[in-house]
Amino acid sequence: MSIRIADRVPEPPIKLMVVIGSVRPGRIGLSVALWVHEHITNRGGFEIDFVDLAELNLPMVDEHRLPKAQQYTRRHTSAWSARVEQADAFLFVSPEINSSFSPALKNALDFLFHEWSRKPVGLVSYGGRGGGAFGSAALRPVLSELELVVASGHVDIHQASSQVEDGFFLPEGEQAVRLDALLDELGALAPALRSMRESALVAG
């Protein structure tokens, strides 16, 4: 029996968590992340959860058990777990710090494990002449260990401070185009990986 188009169940919206990786006062990351948020909002197609790690204010990991056990004893861990669990995909806006990435982002990642697993993630990096390349390179093995699927596309912003005026980030060149390509990739990966996770739950 054929299924009419009208009978098909529509795909639920893709829940995209945008995370500001820097918590430093005066950070450029807030301006960059607000540009990303505005761009996605104008584009449509995603339900955004905007996470500022400075406001989230997680302590250093303080659980007794490893995150794979999911036996959380802290209220902040359970709240963070529930929020990440709801997301279908992630976009990390992360600076380069001493040829690595933000320790605040590392801490937020380390609180959990299964909640990240088999979900896509995109990177928007920023820094000096390298555009945060060393930070992204250091971040990728961590994301792989958490079983996140890293998108091949990325946005790297060189000399990011020169593109901020009165607190607003002003994209240049191909940055908006590259962000669109990254969002296209996340939009394709998220439903496929969601189906994979759902199939694994049924099989398990």
Domains and CATH numbers, the chain: 10-203 (3.40.50.360)
Could you give the CA distance from residue 200 to residue 204 in angstroms, rounded to a whole number? 6
Could you give the CA distance from residue 19 to residue 116 in angstroms, rounded to a whole number? 13
Could you give the CA distance from residue 170 to residue 181 in angstroms, rounded to a whole number? 18
Could you give the CA distance from residue 81 to residue 87 in angstroms, rounded to a whole number? 10
Orientation of helix 29-43 relative to helix 175-203, angle to 10° = 80
Distances (CA, A) of 53 to 37, 56, 65, 101, 182: 15, 5, 23, 14, 22
In terms of DSSP H, where are the helices of 63-174?
A: 75-86, 103-110, 133-145
pLDDT in tens, 55-84: 999 999 999 999 999 999 999 999 999 999
The pTM of the full predicted model, rounded to 2 decimals, is 0.92
All residue ranges of the chain with pLDDT < 50 are: 1, 3
